[in-house]
Amino acid sequence: MSNNSKKIIARFPPSPTGWFHIGNARTALFNYFFVKKNNGELKFRIEDTDKERSKDEYTKDIIEGLKWLGINIDFSDIYRQSEHGDTYKKYIEKMISDGKAYISKEEAKEEGQRSEVIRLRNPNKKVVFEDMIRGEVAVDTTELGDFVIAKSTSEPIYHLAVVVDDFEMGVTHIVRGEDGIYNTPRQILIQEAIGAPRPVYAHMPFILNDDRSKLSKRKQGEMVSLKYYREEGYLPEAMVNFLAFMGWNPGGNEEIMSIEEIIEKFDIMRVQKAGAIFNIKKLNWINKEYIKKLPKEKILELILKRVPEEKRAHKNFEVVYPKIIQLIEERIEKFSDVTSIFNSGEFDCLLDAPKYDKILLKNITHIPKLLEIIDTIDESSFDQIGLKNAIWDFATEVGRGEVLWPMRVALSGREKSPDPFTLASILGKEETLKRLSFALGL
């Protein structure tokens, strides 16, 4: 590896032609791990030479996504390809005058094709480069021919722009997706033609669909965009952890790791060569692990944001909400689940008395005794433990199912719900007695 003595400079150069792709986000993350581990610097560049497809909204989405993930790079002075026309022009003209490239007369076969383009004079040699992940890669560039490097002296093709930009930005290490491996030989040829030093390469494996094809929007829908995960209420720490462990791991059994620990342990040589299938279930599990670690106030805040407006506006919501945080927390794996749970009606019984069929109660014979017991419980000990202590022996004696099921249904009106003690403690003594009496009268 050359450049060992110099400061490592890597780059992340997305083109803003779509929502920030999850695979790109992972590449950005690995670049970040790599530079942080090696006291280097990560530079950001926008490849917006395609004016038709590039949109500011996408640039914004990419930057927001990067910030959300916790990738702290300098966005104040963004290098945009569209602003460096003069630079490319300078190099193109120099290559022509040096005889490294030439203006070629063409027969325009398709619409939009030029009758004159700039082609590189291909030395037709075998290019061998060292890849930090894949080892030595050798490619015969003969079949590339004198490939086009610019449409005109002021309009570079992608490959030329990349090489010039990386050179101008002082890039020493290029960590990019596996598909870049096919671009590398021709980019190396261009580097040699303009006299730029060769950076060190690392080509990362892809994230895959279930059928092992490259992760695509066609097969995964919105799940290919980082935006989706932000909107679904995944925690950025969980996302970073998940993405980091797809294609890399430090070797131990520990899988929940903060970004600091990941950086600390990161070794690009340990990046996997084969692609990894995107496994949403693992992400959900990791996310839940991170939710569990969150301070209570934070959870309270994040959950509240996802409660449907009409539930929040309910007159009982303010009183009930603090009491059901625990309940919600154990039922979600991501914060959008909060909305689904409320919309499913599962918690409606905590806001309003439920409507239900008598049949669901199964057996009301023990309700009078239950009313009697509950009435004796002091307000101060009307919690899960107090309720359980008071009721447990009786329930065990006559059959738990005979007592607890009707009690739970009387309080919730549902076949499935949290347990009766939890329910009663949330509803309070008065409401609990009221609902039990009502069940008796059905």
CB of 332 within 8 A of CB of 341?
A: yes
Asked if residue 102 binds RNA (CB under 7 A), the reply is no
Q: Which span (72-80, 91-99, 155-163, 300-308) binds RNA, by CB under 7 A?
A: 155-163
Q: Does residue 374 touch RNA according to CB under 7 A?
A: no
Whether residue 425 contacts residue 389, with contact meaning beta carbons closer than 8 Å, is answered with no
CA–CA distance, 364 with 349 (Å, rounded to integer): 19
Smallest Cα–Cα separation from 275: which of 191, 203, 354, 339? 203
User: Which residues are within 8 A (CB) of 360 and not within 5 positions of it... i.e. 6 or more apart?
Assistant: 409, 413, 415
What values do phi and psi take at 202, rounded to 5? -150, 120
Find the binder of RNA among 27, 81, 287, 432 (CB under 7 A): 81
Please tell me whether residue 212 binds RNA under the rule CB under 7 A: yes
Query: Taking the complex as a whole, how short is the minimal distance between the CB of residue 41 and RNA, in angstroms?
Result: 22
Q: Does 319 bind RNA (CB under 7 A)?
A: no
Nearest-CA neighbor of 405 among 420, 393, 423, 418? 420
Q: DSSP letters of 145-181?
A: -S-EEEEETTEE-HHHHHHHHHHHTT--EEEEEGGGG
By CB under 7 A, the residues from 220 to 279 that bind RNA are 245-247, 249, 251, 253, 255, 270, 272-277, 279
Count how many Cα atoms sit within 13 Å of the Cα of residue 366 in the half-sphere of its side chain: 23
Which of the 8 DSSP states describes residue 134? T
Of 8 and 117, the one with the shorter C-beta distance to RNA is 117
375/309 Cα distance (integer angstroms): 35
Q: Is position 72 an interface residue for RNA (rule: CB under 7 A)?
A: no
- Asked if residue 200 binds RNA (CB under 7 A), the reply is no
Single out the segment in contact with RNA by CB under 7 A; choices: 47-55, 60-68, 299-307, 348-356: 47-55
C-beta of 8 vs 181, nearer to RNA: 181
Question: Could you tell me which stretch among 92-100, 210-218, 225-233, 299-307 binds RNA (CB under 7 A)?
Answer: 210-218
- In the complex, minimum distance from the CB of residue 144 to RNA, in angstroms, rounded to a whole number: 8
165 contributes a contact to RNA by CB under 7 A: no
Pick 256 or 353: Cβ nearer RNA: 256
- Which is nearer to RNA, 3 or 87 (by Cβ)? 87
Q: CA-to-CA distance for 400 and 313, rounded, in angstroms?
A: 37
CB atoms within 10 A of CB 322: 11
Instruction: Give me the phi and psi of 332, to 5 degrees please.
Output: -115, 155
Question: Considering the complex, what minimum distance in angstroms separates the CB of residue 218 from RNA?
Answer: 11
* Residue 117 Cβ vs RNA, minimum distance, rounded to whole Å: 5
CB of 288 to RNA, least distance (A): 6
Decide whether 8 or 189 has the Cβ nearer to RNA. 189
Residue 139 as a binder of RNA (CB under 7 A): the answer is: yes
**Min. distance of Cβ 38 from RNA in angstroms?**
20
Binding positions for RNA, 299-318, rule CB under 7 A: none
Element (H, E) at 226: helix 226-231
User: What distance in Å separates the CA atoms of residue 321 and residue 47, rounded to the nearest whole number?
Assistant: 48
CB of 399 to RNA, least distance (A): 9
* CA angle (311 as vertex; 305, 316 as ends), nearest 5: 110
Distance between CA 193 and CA 230 in Å, rounded? 44
Are 192 and 164 contacting, i.e. CB atoms less than 8 angstroms apart? no
Counting Cα atoms < 13 Å in the Cβ hemisphere of 38 gives 21
Piece in contact with RNA (CB under 7 A), picked from 163-171, 192-200, 204-212, 431-439: 204-212
Residue 384 near RNA by CB under 7 A: yes
Q: Which stretch binds RNA (CB under 7 A): 21-29, 35-43, 224-232, 403-411?
A: 403-411
Q: Is the Cβ of residue 3 or residue 429 nearer to RNA in the bound state?
A: 429
Nearer to RNA, 358 or 400 (CB): 400
Stretch that binds RNA, among 30-38, 203-211, 231-239, 308-316 (CB under 7 A): 203-211
Tokens of 425: 């403690």
Among 404, 410, 426, 427, binds RNA (CB under 7 A): 404
